[in-house]
Chain A
Amino acid sequence: MAAPLSLAGVRLRILISQPLRFSGLTNQSQCSVPLQAIFKRHYYLNVRELKRFYKNATIATADGWYEINLDKRKLRTPGGNLFRVPNEALALAVATEWNAQEKLVKRHSMHLTQLCNTAIDNPLRKTREDLTESVISFLDTETICYRLEEPPELQALQTAEWEPILDWARDRYGVTIESTYGIAPPLITDESRNIIRRHLMAYSDWALFGYQYSVDAIKSVLLVMAVMDRHLNVERAVELATLEQIFQSRRWGTVEWHHGVDKYALQSRLAASTLFVHWCSENTSVRQKASIASQ
């Protein structure tokens, strides 16, 4: 093959061999049209394992963007676009993700790569409004607003741990949300929604993908806002998001293959999306102070 072998190329060749085998089609012209459709359909569903086919992942700059090179080949997204990111730290972290792989490339745990892929390809054709609204719709099921009355220890714990976050949101953003003890959704004023909407709209498109991903991971808008604002660290936010589980497992014990795995999965997803949001909305400008040493 003369063209540089890309990841998309590897996938495409795998997909070509499958329909031929199953349908018995041999005529090239006959399968050329459905092939496109199959490729689209399998877009993010390809679960076939990928062997580590490269030695080293490095970064390169082009037109102010950062690309990833796997040995001499350029990394591409599943959609076939060139993989490129606006920030050096992000590119280095993605390269580190690729370098961290051993014999198999475990795509399910490469959260930063996945986030970049989604932002580059935008497979569901989301607009800024879609992303913002999907974050805001999470407010109605905000984790830290649904309280329990029984057992009383849990109620006390929830009040002690979650109330400070609501207070913080009130002080920092002027967002007022009343928590609820029943199945009725928490009371959110339209003004609070608008405040959060305006806050989200200030982020870049890419950052919004990260925002949505993190809200989706821990099911709480306010906790994510606190993490993005550096009010909470990731471990603490995951702890707060799974408060009831922690309470119950303190009493009944933990099972490592569920609780441990769940905790680390949530932490890595939230940490990746937090970094992604920061790096995508970061605007580095270094202002040199006039000093004797610099002259």
Chain B
Amino acid sequence: MATSTQVFRQLLRELRSIYKTSNLQDVPAYAYMENQFRRFQVTGEKECRGNSDVQHMAETYLCLLRSTRKYEELSTLYKGKGERSIESSARMVGLGLPPKPGEFDDPPRT
């Protein structure tokens, strides 16, 4: 299990990629998070229920940010480009479309 410092660093990285600012101190969400981490920090190895709660919540939030980002990355990578045109699907199987009326050499009789 990752230590709380590791989770905090990773959360920092995610927030930085969202807010795109060098100074995260101005971001309220960051300030809140830092405050939570500080407040529930427990020195030493003493088992503390409150601390593990915060740890679990931080990991869950990290998971949310990371999964959402990766989901978006993947779905933009593999997103469909809409339907194929009739011409390009015909070309896929080695066929062509019949020439359009305007492309005849002779002008249509009137």
Contacts and interface: CB of A to CB of B under 8 A. Distances in A.
Interface of A: 58-59, 88-89, 92-93, 95-96, 99-100, 106, 109, 111-112, 230, 233-235, 256-257, 260-261, 263-265, 267-268, 271-272, 274-275, 278
Given A89-B36, A99-B19, 5 more contacts: A96-B15, A260-B74, A261-B71, A275-B61, A275-B64
The residue among A58, A88, A234 with the most chain B CB atoms within 10 A of its own CB is A234
A263 B19 CA distance: 25
Contacts of B29: 92-93, 95-96
B72 interface: yes
Contacts of B56: 230, 233
Given A59-B28, A261-B74, A268 B18 contact: no
The residue among B57, B64, B74 with the most chain A CB atoms within 10 A of its own CB is B64
Q: How large is the interface on B (under 10, 10 to 19, 20 to 34, 35 or more residues)?
A: 20 to 34
B32 A268 contact: no
A35 to B, nearest CB: 31
Q: Which 8 A-B pairs have the closest CB atoms?
A: A271-B64, A268-B67, A264-B71, A267-B67, A257-B78, A92-B29, A264-B67, A230-B56
Contact of B75 (A88, A230, A261): A261
A268 to B, nearest CB: 4
Contact of B72 (A59, A92, A106, A233): A106
29 contacts: A59-B28, A92-B28, A92-B29, A95-B28, A95-B29, A96-B18, A100-B18, A106-B72, A111-B64, A233-B59, A234-B59, A234-B60, A235-B63, A260-B70, A261-B71, A264-B68, A264-B71, A264-B74, A267-B63, A267-B67, A268-B63, A268-B67, A271-B61, A271-B63, A271-B64, A271-B67, A274-B60, A275-B61, A278-B57
